[in-house]
């Protein structure tokens, strides 16, 4: 089919220590080779673990990514990590613009766009997150908010090889709540149209992930929604069995 190759990505957030390497080793060893032939699988641990995980997963089908990058390659930015530094450790991807970054660190669309460009500069695939808050959904502003975030944070000339969009309704993250299949279809359809309008044929090939309380039990239903090309998984990515269960739905 013409469907883009699915991507199942785990966002560990600020969780995990060196002992957690057992989890990614279980993902690596438990991933069915036939499934690995069909989908991409990615784990995004805290930056402290990217190097060790990349070594543990070298030669396997599981990739390692960061959760955020600074826009600059290096310099006077105490506490920050650049895309080049993550790439140097063996990362292949990075999340940018996660709602927790937008909220906790006041990241604007322009900031997120600069981070996506930094990821591309360093050869990383940028997973760019968008999504409305509960108040925005209740006010009927979901499509306007997502359209605006995409317009402001997606770099011109983004390619399908280097760019993934993740639709993550803020109210669905870590809450056990998910939008209906119809609601997911509406937003993913909007994103697809916006990508095609901005980027033409290339935009039609950019993967659009759904994120927000994805579990093994709801993954198949979400994956069946048109224009859902995979999942960005928070809580359930911390357990190998759950993460593999979600991947198996694809």
Binding site for ligand PEP (CB under 6 A): 11, 168, 173-174, 211-214, 232-236
Q: Please, what sign has the CA dihedral across residues 31, 97, 210, 241?
A: positive
Q: Is 59 annotated as a binding residue?
A: no
Cα–Cα distance between 67 and 128 in angstroms, integer? 10
Q: Is 218 annotated as a binding residue?
A: no
Cα–Cα distance between 39 and 111 in angstroms, integer? 30
Cα–Cα distance between 129 and 168 in angstroms, integer? 7
Q: Smallest gap, in angstroms, from Cβ of residue 168 to ligand PEP?
A: 5
For residues 165 and 125, the answer to whether their CB atoms sit within 8 Å is no
Residue 58, token pair as written in the block: 């070298």
Q: Smallest gap, in angstroms, from Cβ of residue 144 to ligand PEP?
A: 22
Q: Is 235 annotated as a binding residue?
A: yes
Comparing CB distances to ligand PEP, the nearer of 6 and 212 is 212
Comparing CB distances to ligand PEP, the nearer of 149 and 213 is 213
168 included as an active-site residue? yes
For residues 166 and 130, the answer to whether their CB atoms sit within 8 Å is yes
Q: Is 15 annotated as a binding residue?
A: no
For residues 63 and 40, the answer to whether their CB atoms sit within 8 Å is yes
Q: Smallest gap, in angstroms, from Cβ of residue 87 to ligand PEP?
A: 22
Q: Smallest gap, in angstroms, from Cβ of residue 189 to ligand PEP?
A: 20
For residues 57 and 24, the answer to whether their CB atoms sit within 8 Å is yes
Q: Is 245 annotated as a binding residue?
A: no
For residues 177 and 171, the answer to whether their CB atoms sit within 8 Å is yes
Comparing CB distances to ligand PEP, the nearer of 187 and 236 is 236
Q: Kindly name the residue from 120, 168, 188, 194 that is annotated as catalytic.
A: 168
Per DSSP, 6 falls in state P
How many C-beta neighbours within 10 Å does residue 207 have?
Answer: 22
Comparing CB distances to ligand PEP, the nearer of 181 and 196 is 181
188 included as an active-site residue? no
Q: Kindly name the residue from 70, 84, 93, 98 that is annotated as catalytic.
A: 98
Binding residues: 11-13, 174, 213, 234-235
Catalytic residue IDs? 98, 168
Residue numbering of the annotated binding site for substrate:
11-13, 174, 213, 234-235
């Amino acid at each position: 089919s013409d469907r883009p190759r699915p991507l199942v990505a785990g966002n560990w957030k600020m969780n995990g220590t060196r002992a957690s390497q057992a989890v990614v080793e279980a993902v690596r060893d438990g991933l069915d080779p036939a499934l690995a032939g069909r989908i991409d699988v990615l784990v995004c641990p805290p930056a402290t673990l990217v190097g060790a995980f990349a070594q543990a997963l070298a030669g396997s089908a599981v990739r390692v990514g960061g959760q955020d990058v600074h826009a600059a390659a290096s310099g006077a930015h105490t506490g920050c990590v650049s895309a080049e530094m993550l790439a140097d450790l063996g990362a292949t991807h990075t999340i940018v613009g996660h709602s927790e970054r937008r909220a906790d660190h006041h990241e604007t669309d322009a900031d997120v766009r600069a981070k996506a460009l930094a990821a591309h500069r360093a050869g990383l695939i940028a997973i760019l997150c968008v999504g409305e808050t509960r108040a925005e959904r209740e006010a009927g502003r979901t499509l306007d908010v997502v359209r605006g975030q995409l317009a402001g944070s997606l770099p011109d000339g983004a390619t399908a090889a280097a760019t993934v969009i993740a639709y993550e309704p803020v109210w669905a993250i870590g809450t056990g709540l998910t939008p209906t299949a119809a609601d997911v279809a509406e937003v993913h359809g909007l994103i697809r149209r916006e990508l095609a309008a901005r980027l033409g044929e290339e935009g039609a090939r950019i993967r659009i992930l759904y994120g927000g309380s994805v579990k093994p039990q709801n993954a198949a239903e979400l994956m069946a929604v048109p224009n859902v090309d995979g999942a960005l998984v928070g809580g359930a990515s911390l357990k190998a069995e759950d993460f593999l269960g979600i991947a198996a739905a694809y």
